[in-house]
């Protein structure tokens, strides 16, 4: 297949842990051709299809100069690729939103895009959990400072987070004493201008914030428990959490096998469920990670499972 990955700049990749790199490496191993573009290089003009300025690359197998590319980039119609894999990291800001509309136009022209642009827009990573209240802990979504204070009075120990955060950014814990709750609310909701998610603190975070990967509706048999370190409340790897791979529990599998097929049918080939203890906390759809950590620790080849699913999805879409 001729594959296009829409992603962050190649020069920013940390290939020892980058999931998009793992996808490309597996795809090349299977004989697929690898191309890369950034969202800023996607263009539509009346009378033309959606195009992108594309880098054609080959992975070298080296740790430093890890890719080689053709000397000249080319502008290519997205419909000319067998699959377009959207892997731009969050935040899901206005530019990400506009990129999904360009990708959706490319889809109308015949491009095969994974994950589907409409599905990316319809499933914001914090709010997508609201569809499955049976799996989540006490949760509040509001702009109201008074609502947040009432929620704290009821649950005593809470987590507050912005809806557009990533990698643990902007997450606060407020304990029973309510210390600095007012200041945190002002910081996050900006006098009622921005919506905040508030959740009851789950002590099971001490055992890790589990990332459960679901590929084409089927769960990877291992999660990566991201365990907070050094007094941190956040388990995110970007916030210094330690990743420990472990088999899925019965509850993990129940959550994944309920949600996975539903979201796969909506065009989400790859999702990452975040579970603390027995409670679902987020559904990641933009560019879920942790492929390499799980594979390195368990030997289960997550990238191979993904590329196999991508090949099958591409055939179904023809």
- 105 and 44 housed in the same domain: yes
For residue 250, give the CATH number of its domain: 3.30.470.20
Looking at 112, 116, 200, 234, which residue is catalytic? 234
Looking at 25, 55, 161, 210, which residue is catalytic? 161
- Percent over 70 (pLDDT), the chain: 97
- 147 and 219 housed in the same domain: no
- 35 and 113 housed in the same domain: yes
For residue 173, give the CATH number of its domain: 3.30.1490.20
| pTM metric for this prediction | 0.94
- 194 and 209 housed in the same domain: no
Count of residues for the chain?
A: 318
Q: Scan for tokens 């699913």, then name that residue.
A: 309
The SS3 call for residue 51 is strand
Looking at 200, 252, 284, 293, which residue is catalytic? 284
| CB-based contacts of 41, cutoff 8 Å, min separation 6 | 52, 53, 54
d(CA 314, CA 312): 5
| CB-based contacts of 177, cutoff 8 Å, min separation 6 | none
For residue 82, give the CATH number of its domain: 3.40.50.20
Is residue 282 part of the annotated active site? The answer reads yes
Looking at 226, 236, 252, 293, which residue is catalytic? 226
Per-residue pLDDT tens for 157-172?
A: 999 999 887 767 789 9
Domain range spanning residue 287?
204-307
For the chain, give the mean pLDDT: 94
Is residue 14 part of the annotated active site? The answer reads no
165 is a domain residue? yes
Is residue 161 part of the annotated active site? The answer reads yes
Looking at 18, 209, 211, 252, which residue is catalytic? 211
Is residue 173 part of the annotated active site? The answer reads no
Q: Scan for tokens 């377009």, then name that residue.
A: 84
- 261 and 155 housed in the same domain: no
290 is a domain residue? yes
d(CA 236, CA 225): 9
Looking at 87, 116, 126, 210, which residue is catalytic? 126
Of the segments 156-170, 186-200, 259-273, which one has the largest average pLDDT value? 259-273
Is residue 226 part of the annotated active site? The answer reads yes
| pLDDT, position 234 | 64
Is residue 150 part of the annotated active site? The answer reads no
Query: What's the number of domains the chain is made of?
Result: 3
46 is a domain residue? yes
128 is a domain residue? no
Is residue 234 part of the annotated active site? The answer reads yes
Secondary structure element (H or E) that encloses residue 242, with its range: strand 242-247
- 210 and 301 housed in the same domain: yes
Is residue 211 part of the annotated active site? The answer reads yes
Indicate the residue among 89, 122, 155 that finishes a domain: 122
| Cβ atoms 111, 82 nearer than 8 A | no
* 240 Rama class: left (phi>0) / alpha (psi -120 to 50) / beta: left
């Amino acid at each position: 297949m001729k594959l296009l990955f829409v992603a962050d700049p190649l020069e920013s990749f940390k290939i020892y842990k980058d999931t998009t790199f793992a996808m490309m490496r597996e795809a090349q191993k299977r004989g697929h051709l690898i191309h890369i573009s950034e969202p800023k290089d996607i263009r539509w003009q009346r009378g033309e299809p959606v195009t992108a300025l594309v880098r054609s690359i080959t992975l070298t197998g080296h740790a430093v100069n890890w890719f080689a590319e053709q000397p000249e980039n080319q502008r290519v119609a997205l419909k000319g690729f067998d699959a377009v894999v959207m892997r731009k990291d969050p935040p899901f800001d206005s530019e990400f939103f506009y990129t999904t509309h360009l990708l959706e136009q490319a889809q109308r022209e015949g491009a095969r895009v994974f994950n589907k642009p409409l599905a990316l827009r319809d499933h914001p990573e914090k709010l997508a959990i609201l569809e499955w209240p049976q799996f989540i802990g006490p949760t509040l979504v509001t702009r109201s400072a008074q609502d947040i204070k009432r929620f704290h009075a009821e649950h005593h120990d809470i987590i507050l987070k912005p809806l557009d955060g990533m990698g643990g950014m902007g997450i606060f814990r407020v304990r029973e004493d309510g210390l600095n709750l007012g200041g945190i609310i002002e910081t996050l909701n900006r006098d009622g201008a921005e919506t905040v998610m508030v959740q009851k603190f789950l002590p099971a975070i001490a055992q890790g914030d589990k990332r459960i990967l679901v590929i084409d509706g089927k769960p990877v048999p291992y999660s990566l428990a991201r365990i907070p370190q050094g007094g941190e409340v956040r388990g995110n790897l970007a916030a210094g959490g330690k990743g420990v791979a472990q088999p899925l529990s019965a509850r993990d599998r129940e959550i994944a096998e309920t949600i996975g097929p539903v979201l796969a049918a909506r065009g989400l080939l790859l999702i990452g469920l975040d579970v603390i203890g027995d409670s679902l906390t987020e559904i990641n759809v933009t560019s879920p990670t942790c492929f390499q950590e799980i594979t390195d620790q368990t030997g289960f080849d997550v990238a191979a499972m993904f590329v196999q699913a991508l090949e099958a999805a591409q055939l179904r879409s023809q």
